[in-house]
């Protein structure tokens, strides 16, 4: 934004609340959750959901565990009305779920809404009217405070009058001073208290006061001050559920909600993945999983987040950002080498420690929660591109292909793989990494190739090998003795004048996930001329031959270095 344009904007005034208490609070229990996906989320879609899609979404919300679900604006359109009627007439609403409908404080719309909810076991009738100075001036043509307050009171009185006409339905009143976030606090509380005085809630039969952050004008701390101030000044506070409904215009919907809960709110309205008008509503998944990550149960089940996301994307035709907290495709993925190394070490250490301490607190660098707890696998945690490092490549080879590389081999393999990714300017998938590993480090046969090999056991642990090799394309037979296959082969190379190295390390294991007879061996050699140290890998059904192939491979890597 250009400096000249900034002159048109003004800072949002702070709340005079010098004795605020919310900064010292912690979130230790979950609020009442209310999904507004089928209303607020649906009306924000370029192509609103059909009735059948809304039914599927409603069922999904019930499975997740929502006990309050705003199903729409039944007085606004026949589709909305018919959806409400289908839920009721087809007995689709679980016994422990309360539907919620939204309606402006206008008489004919409220009467139509009561027709829509007739027969429901329990329904929240959510009435609202805009209260901010900007709305009073622009939308309501300079209406006075008294006129705006009277609209709210008339709506509450009509709901109270109509409630006895549907005795089979328990009606709960919810009132929202829409655009609360930029309404003067004294006027917001005046409107709310006027409605409370009409409805006369009790601790046994509460009503809901919803304080919507309809447009985010201020920082989250100011929102928290507003909520705490309201909670102190509302009539019959013990008979109210104070509700939050944050939008995300400033990108701080989650923070505003969490601070609002610390400030005394009891209830949260929001949507899955933050769908909603403009920059969206609060993402309930984000807040709920934030609580889970601190050990707070929420009553909402996001243990299969991928399936929830699939339904959401299909019926709303919206997409979840790759970086959306928890749900995004890449949020548990590390490309950076240092991150990959720390994650690998953390996962390996936790695997060992949790065997002895089943209740061990979660603690893996860069992972705030265990991805498996929300249905994500470890397969995509580490992905390889030119920014990756040795630990990430080793992790992929281990997790995906069963190769447990010696730690000192990681830098050699890692650099080769990420140099390949850099040269191709792309990410390498697990199979491409495996193929590159085999091409560069496994069973290499030039300039030295082992053509045939036989052992004679001489007793007392001594063996003699007879090998046929090709060196730079020329075949020759060599022999040597030692205390095992590898040692005797090394001696044979020495006798033939081909040994110019020192064997410094050897490892072997069965390959996990491969053939039952597949084995991998790793041998490290140091050049006697240059002191260069390199690893080679051998793969063979025979662990003995895997070791010999690893030796030949390391020899060739040194020769070609």
Instruction: Kindly state the tokens that stand for 346.
Output: 């953390």
Per-residue pLDDT, averaged over 264-270, amounts to: 98
| Domains detected in the chain | 31-316 (3.20.20.70), 337-440 (1.10.287.1400), 448-560 (3.30.160.270)
Q: What is the pLDDT of residue 515?
A: 54
Q: What is residue 367's predicted lDDT score, i.e. its pLDDT?
A: 94
Residues 6+ apart with CB under 8 A from 47: 317
pTM of the full predicted structure?
0.80
Question: What's the chain's average pLDDT?
Answer: 94
pLDDT value of residue 384: 72
Residues belonging to the binding site are 40, 245, 247, 281
**Cβ atoms 207, 266 nearer than 8 A:** no
Confidence of residue 400 (pLDDT cuts 50, 70, 90): confident
Question: What are the backbone dihedrals phi and psi of residue 129, each rounded to the nearest 5 degrees, phi first?
Answer: -150, 150
Angle at 526 between CA 435 and CA 450, to 5 degrees: 55
Q: Helix or strand or coil: residue 559?
A: helix
Binding residues for Mg(2+), by number, are 40, 245, 247, 281
Cβ atoms of 212 and 179 closer than 8 Å: yes
**Angstrom distance (rounded) from CA 252 to CA 231:** 22
Cα distances (angstroms) measured from residue 361 to each of 178, 353, 364, 488, 511: 43, 11, 10, 50, 31
Mean pLDDT of 514-534: 88
Closest CA relative to residue 285, chosen from 297, 300, 299, 306: 300
**Is residue 263 predicted with pLDDT exceeding 90?**
yes
Q: Which residue has the higher pLDDT, 120 or 388?
A: 120
Count other C-beta atoms under 10 Å from residue 459's C-beta.
6
Q: 160: part of which helix (H) or strand (E)?
A: helix 145-162
Closest CA to 42 of 257, 282, 314, 315: 315
Q: Note the pLDDT tens digit of each residue in 315-356.
A: 999 999 999 999 999 898 887 778 878 888 898 899 999 999
pLDDT digits (tens, 9 = 90+) for 142-195: 999 999 999 999 999 999 999 999 999 999 999 999 999 999 999 999 999 999
**Predicted pLDDT at 386:** 64
Q: What is the pLDDT of residues 98-157, one digit of tens each?
A: 999 999 999 999 999 999 999 999 999 999 999 999 999 998 999 999 999 999 999 999
What's the pLDDT score for residue 523? 97
pLDDT of residue 389: 66
- Confidence band, pLDDT 50/70/90 cuts, at residue 464: very high
Report pLDDT for 392. 80
* Reduced 3-state DSSP string for 516-535: CCCEEEEEEEEECCCCCEEE
């Amino acid at each position: 934004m250009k400096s000249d344009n900034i002159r048109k904007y003004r800072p949002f005034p702070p709340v005079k609340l010098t004795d605020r208490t919310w900064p010292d609070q912690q979130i230790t229990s979950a609020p009442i959750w209310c999904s507004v996906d089928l209303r607020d989320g649906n009306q924000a879609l370029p192509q609103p959901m059909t009735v059948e899609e809304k039914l599927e979404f409603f069922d999904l919300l019930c499975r997740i565990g929502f006990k309050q679900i705003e199903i729409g604006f039944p007085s606004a359109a026949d589709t909305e009305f018919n959806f409400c009627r289908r839920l009721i007439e087809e007995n689709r609403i679980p016994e422990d779920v309360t539907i919620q409908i939204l309606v402006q404080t206008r008489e004919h719309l409220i009467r139509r809404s009561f027709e829509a909810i007739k027969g429901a076991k329990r329904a929240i009738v959510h009435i609202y009217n805009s209260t901010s100075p900007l709305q009073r001036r622009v939308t309501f043509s300079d209406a006075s405070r008294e006129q705006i307050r009277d609209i709210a009171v008339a709506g509450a009185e009509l709901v109270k009058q109509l409630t006895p006409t549907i005795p089979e339905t328990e009606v709960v009143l919810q009132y929202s001073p829409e655009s609360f976030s930029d309404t003067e606090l004294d006027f917001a509380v005046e409107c709310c208290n006027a409605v409370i005085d009409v409805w006369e809630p009790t601790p046994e039969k509460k009503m809901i006061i919803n304080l919507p952050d309809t447009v985010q004008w201020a920082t989250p701390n100011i929102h928290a001050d507003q909520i705490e101030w309201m909670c102190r000044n509302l009539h019959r506070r013990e008979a109210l559920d104070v509700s939050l409904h944050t939008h995300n215009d400033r990108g701080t919907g989650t923070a505003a909600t969490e601070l609002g809960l610390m400030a005394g709110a009891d209830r949260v309205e929001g949507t899955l993945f933050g769908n909603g008008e403009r920059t969206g509503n609060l993402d309930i998944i984000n807040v709920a999983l934030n609580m889970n990550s601190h050990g707070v149960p929420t009553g909402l089940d996001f243990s299969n987040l991928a399936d929830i996301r699939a339904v959401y994307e299909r019926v709303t035709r919206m997409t979840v950002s790759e970086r959306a907290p928890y749900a995004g495709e890449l949020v548990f993925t590390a490309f950076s080498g240092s991150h990959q190394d720390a994650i690998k070490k953390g996962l390996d250490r936790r695997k060992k420690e949790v065997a002895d301490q089943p209740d061990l607190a979660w603690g893996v660098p860069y992972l705030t929660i265990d991805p498996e707890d929300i249905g994500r696998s470890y397969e995509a945690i580490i992905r390889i591109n030119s920014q990756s490092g040795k630990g990430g490549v080793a992790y992929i080879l281990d997790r995906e292909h069963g190769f447990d590389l010696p730690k000192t081999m990681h830098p050699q393999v890692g650099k080769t793989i990420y140099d390949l990714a850099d040269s191709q300017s792309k990410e390498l998938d697990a199979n491409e990494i495996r193929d590159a590993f085999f091409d560069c480090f496994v069973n290499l046969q030039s300039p030295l190739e082992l053509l045939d090999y036989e052992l004679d056991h001489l007793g007392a642990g001594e063996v003699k090998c007879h090998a046929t090799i090709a060196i730079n394309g020329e075949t020759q037979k060599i022999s040597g003795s030692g205390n095992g296959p590898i040692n005797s082969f090394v001696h044979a190379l020495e006798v033939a004048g081909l040994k110019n190295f020192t064997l410094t390390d050897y490892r072997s294991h069965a390959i996990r996930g491969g053939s039952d007879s597949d084995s991998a061996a790793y041998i490290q050699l140091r050049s006697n001329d240059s002191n260069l140290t390199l690893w080679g890998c051998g793969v063979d059904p025979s662990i003995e031959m895997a070791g010999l192939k690893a030796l030949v491979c390391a020899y060739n890597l040194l020769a070609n270095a």
